[in-house]
Chain A
Amino acid sequence: MIFSVEFIYIIMGIICLCCSLYTFSDKANPRRHLSGLFYFIYSITLLFGSVIPPFYIGLMVIILVLVVGMGGLRKGSYGESSAQERETQRKRLGSWLFFPALLIPIITVIGAKGFEGVKINSLFILDPKNPTLVALGIACLIAIIAAMYLTKNTPQTAIKESRRLLEAIGWAVLLPQLLATLGTIFTKAGVGTVVSDVVTKIIPENSLFMIVFVFCIGMALFTMIMGNAFAAFPVMAAGVAVPFLITQFDANPNHIAAISMFAGYCGTLMTPMAANFNIVPAALLDLKDKNHVIRVQIPTALLVLAFNIVLMYVLVKWEV
């Protein structure tokens, strides 16, 4: 293929690597060596993840966590533009400022929908493994060039500004990848089977409402633990939905599937384990409480979860 997923990872790695060089030399950061080391090692895992044997990547991940655990990750100074400078630039550019930002979704959608599976000389243009990711990466590259041209800035400034944002996110940048790792270990260790065993044991077999209730709450809770509704569905469906709802009460599997996945998503809204959706944005928006996004989402999540339980109950009951 012409643009592979690995190509995008290398761009991510280069951005992170360049940022780390600035961090090493940032005198305003009280722990600049450790902080720089953190971003440096992280960039190595991005750049060479598919070349270095997994055991050594694993060791690097543990070093990264140790740096953070020792409080080695601190912030520095970033030579931000003054309010005055920003205002002059804003007046000059006006709403053209939105142009590069809007290029990202537009090119991504066009690329992912229009070029998915398209080949030139029997080569895929976009990696068939994950065309959306590659399209997003290319869209960002084009948007970076547009933004540099528009704001008359150099690549160095682009990197310095990336570092400002990257260090604002800080350790949270690692969390989604690390949680996915935990998910695989949980699966390997059989946490899923244990949870579904517990659920099946407490389930009252004859009360339809209680089965639906336990199933939906179980989907949400399991998702909260694993941080991912995809991991919860096969376990909960095999443990509860198939034997009790579909076999015993003759429920329509399409209804069960649609509603149970949403019950899982209600769990996603309430857990720090879904870091990509809940913790990283809090860091990105510079919120004091990293659980603030979750706090805002909980009421909606609980109401929708209750709605799901009632809806599933009504649908199954009605068909019986």
Chain B
Amino acid sequence: MVLIGVALIIIGFAIRLNPLVVVTVSGLVTGLIAGLPIVDIITQFGEAFTTNRYMSILLVTLPVIGLLERSGLQNQAGHLVSKIKAATAGRIITIYLLFREIGAALGLLSIGGHPQTVRPLLAPMAEGAAKAKYGEIPEKERDEIRAHAAAADNIGLFFGEDIFVAVGAILLMKGFFDQNGIESDPISMALWGIPTAVFALIVHSIRLRLFDKKLDRTLGSTTKKDVIR
């Protein structure tokens, strides 16, 4: 019965209703089905909403990014990259992916992130490289480049962070095994994450290479830079 809430979420997202509405309705329905009084459910909403305020930390980054964008930060990022002849959208994102994953593996989780790195720096750099190569970028390809930039940040972070011993996930699992009287070792857990981390890096780099080829095909492979030079 409680799975009705899950079903509501899937249907709601599938028919593209506003996610906020879908999530709220599902929460209310699930709570009611489970027999929680409505006052309790609303209290629960308030409580969880308050304890999870940390998730909206991006609000603090907005003034910095806004001011810098107003002064042409994104243009400068694109400008710098357009001077490097070997730069392509895919290659720039690949380099970022590598740094992000290694950084996360060393416990430096906060060196990246969508508001502070992807929007002001990575996405404009990747776009700048594509612009230098192909001229103006149509909206469809522009969105594709940006989505790839955002994805690289996630993939680098996720598959890097579990290699760092003191990360939440490792501690959570250690705690779980302790509770169940099973012996486990955080260092060994972290080390056995390496094969998957390397595999993810390779697979995604290959995909970014293919993405460059796809851009070549759709936007023409004659590099504008060669023509100018």
Where the two chains meet, the residues of A that have a C-beta atom closer than 8 Å to any C-beta of B are 5, 8-9, 11-12, 15-16, 45-46, 49-50, 52-62, 64-65, 68-69, 80-81, 86-87, 89-90, 93-95, 97-98, 100-101, 104-105, 108-109, 112-113, 130, 132-133, 135-137, 140-141, 143-144, 147-148, 150-151, 153, 157-162, 164-166, 169, 171-186, 188-191, 194-195, 225, 229-230, 233-234, 237-238, 242, 246, 253-255, 257-259, 261-262, 265, 268-269, 272-273, 275-282, 284-289, 292-293, 295-297, 299-300, 303-304, 307-308, 311, 315
B159 within 8 A of A: yes
Q: Enumerate the 10 nearest inter-chain pairs by beta-carbon distance, A residue then B residue, closest first.
A: A161-B66, A90-B72, A57-B46, A58-B46, A54-B46, A189-B34, A58-B42, A49-B50, A58-B45, A258-B192
CA distance A94 to B72 in the complex (A): 9
A22 to chain B, nearest CB (A): 12
CA distance A246 to B43 in the complex (A): 40
A97 to chain B, nearest CB (A): 5
Segment from B12-20, B128-136, B215-223 that makes contact with A: B12-20
- Set of chain A residues within 8 Å of B3, measured between Cβ atoms: 191, 194-195
- Verify B147–A175 contact, CB threshold 8 A: no
CA distance A93 to B65 in the complex (A): 15
- Verify B53–A49 contact, CB threshold 8 A: yes
Q: Which residue of B lies closest to A94 (CB)?
A: B76
- Pick from B26, B71, B196: contact of A304, CB under 8 Å: B196
B52 to chain A, nearest CB (A): 4
A sample of 22 cross-chain residue pairs with beta-carbon separation below 8 angstroms, ordered by A number, consists of: A54-B44, A58-B44, A87-B72, A97-B73, A98-B77, A130-B54, A133-B57, A140-B61, A151-B71, A158-B66, A162-B63, A172-B19, A173-B59, A174-B20, A189-B34, A191-B30, A234-B176, A253-B184, A257-B192, A262-B159, A269-B158, A280-B114
- Verify B49–A304 contact, CB threshold 8 A: no
- Verify A185–B30 contact, CB threshold 8 A: yes
Where the two chains meet, the residues of B that have a C-beta atom closer than 8 Å to any C-beta of A are 2-3, 5-6, 9, 13, 18-21, 23-24, 26-27, 30-31, 33-34, 36, 39, 41-73, 75-77, 79-80, 107-121, 123, 139, 143-144, 146-151, 153-155, 158-159, 162, 168-170, 172-174, 176-177, 180, 182-185, 188-193, 195-197, 199-200, 203-204, 207
Given contacts A68-B21, A293-B147, contact A186 B169 (CB under 8 A): no
CA distance A258 to B139 in the complex (A): 40
